[in-house]
Amino acid sequence: MQAKRWKILPYDEEQVTTLQKALTVSKPVCTILTQRGIRTFDEAKNYFRPQLGMLHSPWLMKDMQQAVNRIMAAIGNQEKILVFGDYDVDGTTAVASMYQFLVSIYDEQQLDFYIPHRYREGYGVSKMGIDFAKDHNFSLIVCLDCGIKSVELIAYAATLGIDFVVCDHHLPGSILPAASAILNPKQADCNYPYKELCGCGVGFKLMSALAEHLNLPEEFTYRYLDLLATAIAADIVPMTGENRVLAYYGVEKINNDPCPGIKALIQLAGISSKLHITNVVFVIAPRVNAAGRMDDARKAVQLFTEKDFEQALIFAEMLHNDNAERKEADSSITEEALEIILADAGHSNRKSSVVYKEHWHKGVVGIVASRIIEHHYKPTVVLTKSGGFATGSARSVPGFNLYEAIYECREYLVAYGGHFAAAGLSMLPENVIAFSNKFEAVVSATITAALLVPEIIIDAAINFQEISPSFYDILCQMEPFGPENMRPVFITKKVMNTGFSKIVKENHIRFVLQQNNITLTGIGFNMAEKFYLLDLKQPLDIVFTIDENEWQGNKSLQLKMIDLQLSEPTT
């Protein structure tokens, strides 16, 4: 295991004391709340008790009236409407929600949906999609989770008599497309109070406005909250504000009344207990994403819109099989990539990893890049051959601007795009070595040594005596967890091994630790090589999250260990 940097988040003692008086809960809880911007009783109440009534009016979003007017005009004129969206979880859930909503207010014969093929058409609005609309007499395209940068394509659609309503959440460029309406809270002149909605969330706002315009009950939009929670979880948007409210009620719907498609995915995954947002991220999202990675994501929308459970199971099995295929490809390619790195004598001195094999599956190179970083913690590019080009994905380590590094290598690239943490790129195969050398030179010149060591962010210090069922109950009320509201990570200093800790299944440690006569158990996955620290019989500092272990019907709290090290000696 590579050594990690521990970073304990700072806090304002005065704010913590004030909040503790107002809430009468423990100091560690108040510490975490203040770190997350919660300073008063009312803010804490809104955080712990999210209400759908907290959602902002959809009419605050720029162009909302124009969007509603254009869709209502299309319905009034009996125009054909095409719902278009990206092939990932956010796009497919957004399309499934919007399509079903429009079916509930308009003639199904006048509606269809379209998901571009990842490899034939690429990301976002496609010429093939617009031509499909023209060939089938669609005069309005409602596009979701894409479109904000599709200036030329939306102009091309206009020459064919096709209008666009754009629902997107990606950063706009300097030129906006000439659409009938653009819904995107990240537009500079959009006054919508919450800027971090996902694509499905922007679509939800449009459905809410349409429902209000038509005086429909809220149920007409709330019935898709399970799909929206899936999008929020998968798209890794901040779990704050409206996202947190929508995810909270969406997860509730997933547990109590999911659509047949989500129910089928849960059944195939073999989950019988209550789902948390993390299950959605690791169980539902990969199966949906796999459809677009390995084949055609249209079946993900068919799954989400299917009313019959038996039929939904058939679609879910297709996604399940795509995911099994994706896992196999991802695992074998990762193994091969790690072998290439191992065989490269100079790799240990490099600050980046670039690997290329012509036969690797294009759909999993991004996942493989992330897997390589787990073993070699440095910015990573994984390339394969497709359409005559070496093409692939890059992933960064937190804090390093990957997009800028790739931009510096643009002389060797035919295409590139992405953001701070992830990017896609293509080049001529003969330029791979030159690109690799330039990328290494750029990364070496700009990355700091600290960024090449994984960092653990620690929320608060805690003693064993403070870890109780009531404390854990409060932690559970902080869900749903996600970016900017992560599961709290704790540090406890100067604990001792009881002598009962042991290695289990060769790779993991079952901890039995003691502090001030209080004993707690824990599990540390893939931590066996740190077992020698326990044998030293010296005080340890441990970093962990807290969860519940259920064994033969008995529930007990356990520590989910993240790291440990010897305590600093007391002077």
558 membership: H or E segment, kind and range: strand 554-566
Q: What is the C-alpha separation between 554 and 458, in angstroms, rounded?
A: 29
Q: What is the C-alpha separation between 333 and 182, in angstroms, rounded?
A: 40
**Which residue, of 296, 320, 344, is where some domain finishes?**
320
Query: Is 247 in the same domain as 99?
Result: yes
pTM: 0.92
Strands 460-461 and 490-497: parallel
pLDDT score, position 13: 95
Q: What is the C-alpha separation between 383 and 406, in angstroms, rounded?
A: 14
pLDDT score, position 571: 61
Query: Is 242 in the same domain as 177?
Result: yes
Q: Where are the beta strands (DSSP E) in 346-487?
A: 353-356, 380-386, 389-395, 415-418, 422-427, 455-458, 460-461
Note the residue count of the chain.
571
Query: Is 167 in the same domain as 136?
Result: yes
Query: Is 45 in the same domain as 62?
Result: no
* Cα dihedral 8, 9, 11, 16 sign: negative
- Name the token pair of 437: 């050398």
Backbone angles phi, psi at 462, to 5 degrees: -150, 150
Query: Is 191 in the same domain as 165?
Result: yes
The answer to whether position 73 is within a domain reads: yes
Query: Is 23 in the same domain as 71?
Result: no
The domain spanning residue 42 has which CATH number?
2.40.50.460
The answer to whether position 200 is within a domain reads: yes
- Name the token pair of 468: 């109780």
Query: Is 547 in the same domain as 470?
Result: yes
Query: Is 442 in the same domain as 460?
Result: no
The amino acid sitting at 50 is P
Tokens 């690797």 correspond to: 360
Query: Is 163 in the same domain as 285?
Result: yes
Low-confidence ranges of the chain (pLDDT < 70): 1-2, 571
pLDDT score, position 512: 95
**In a 3-state reduction of DSSP, which class is residue 257?**
coil
The domain spanning residue 360 has which CATH number?
3.10.310.30
Q: What is the C-alpha separation between 450 and 116, in angstroms, rounded?
A: 41
The sheet with strand 181-183 has its strands ordered as 111-114, 80-85, 138-144, 163-167, 181-183
Tokens 């990893």 correspond to: 353
The answer to whether position 280 is within a domain reads: yes
Q: What is the C-alpha separation between 312 and 556, in angstroms, rounded?
A: 37
Buried b (16+ CB within 10 A) or exposed e, 199-234: bbbbbbbbbbbbbbbeebeeebbbbbbbbbbbbbbb
Query: Is 254 in the same domain as 369?
Result: no
Q: What is the DSSP letter of 485?
A: B
Query: Is 78 in the same domain as 199?
Result: yes
The answer to whether position 215 is within a domain reads: yes
Residue 331 CA from chain centroid, whole number:
21
Q: Where are the beta strands (DSSP E) in 129-203?
A: 138-144, 163-167, 181-183
The answer to whether position 149 is within a domain reads: yes
- Name the token pair of 149: 């940068």
Rounding to the nearest 10 degrees, give the CA dihedral for residues 382, 386, 388, 390. Answer: -10
**Which residue, of 320, 344, 374, is where some domain finishes?**
320
Q: Are 524 and 509 in contact (CB under 8 A)?
A: yes
pLDDT score, position 419: 82
Q: What is the C-alpha separation between 230 and 92, in angstroms, rounded?
A: 10
N-to-C CA span, the chain: 29
445 membership: H or E segment, kind and range: helix 432-446
The answer to whether position 43 is within a domain reads: yes
Q: Provide the domain limits for residue 379.
A: 352-446
**Which residue, of 393, 428, 446, is where some domain finishes?**
446
Domains contained in the chain, number: 3
- Name the token pair of 334: 């990762």
The answer to whether position 339 is within a domain reads: no
What number of other Cβ atoms are within 10 A of residue 347's Cβ?
16
Q: Which residues contact 196 (CB under 8 A, 6 or more apart)?
A: 169, 185, 237, 238, 240, 241, 242, 243
Query: Is 365 in the same domain as 314?
Result: no
The answer to whether position 92 is within a domain reads: yes
The domain spanning residue 221 has which CATH number?
3.90.1640.30
